Amino acid sequence: MTKTIQCEIVSAESSVYSGSVEQVVAAGIMGDLGILAGHTPLLTELAPGPVRVLTEQGEEHFYVSGGFIEVQPDKVIVLADAAVRAADLDEAAAEEARQQALKDMHEKSAELDYSRATAELAEAMAQLRTINQLRRKARSKS
């Protein structure tokens, strides 16, 4: 039997996941993090992107728009700005947001908030990356 650790994924709106997991993989601001039972305590910022939890039953995929991950001796807590199950992401809306952010950045109007457009582009790209990751996983199973 593999060692497990309790995992909580929460956002300001709700608790998205709670359960015992074998591993948590998340997109940290310095790169991907893999957390197993017995990991050293840690608190770090998350980049917008996928969070994957591996359980005895399989994998579950989530998307977080940023936040923090806290690793304690007996628990991993993902404190997300916003979090949803990856299967609930709207690919068409994410692609539209990506296109709009690119358009806004290329127009370079005086009223453009460049940092806002950059953040919106990064979030849309992270959502699309999460959707593609989930799609690749589904293809590898068939």
In tens, the pLDDT along 89-126 reads 777 887 787 788 888 777 766 566 767 777 777 788 78
7 versus 128: the higher-pLDDT residue is: 7
How far lies 82's CA from each of 8, 61, 64, 75, 141, in Å?
Answer: 14, 14, 6, 20, 29
CATH number for the domain spanning 65: value is 2.60.15.10
pLDDT greater than 80 at residue 34: yes
Same domain, residue pair 79 and 103? no
Look at residues 71, 86, 101 and tell me which one is the last residue of a structural domain.
Answer: 86
Q: Can you give the residue range of the structural domain that contains 26?
A: 5-86
pLDDT greater than 80 at residue 76: yes
For residue 69, the model assigns a pLDDT of 96
Distance CA 68, CA 121 (A): 20
For residue 124, the model assigns a pLDDT of 80
Same domain, residue pair 97 and 38? no
Total tally of structural domains belonging to the chain: 2
Same domain, residue pair 78 and 106? no
pLDDT greater than 60 at residue 58: yes
Same domain, residue pair 15 and 72? yes
CATH number for the domain spanning 100: value is 1.20.5
Q: Are 82 and 13 in contact (CB under 8 A)?
A: yes
- Pairing outcome for strands 83-85 and 67-72: unpaired
For residue 62, the model assigns a pLDDT of 94
**pTM summary value:** 0.76
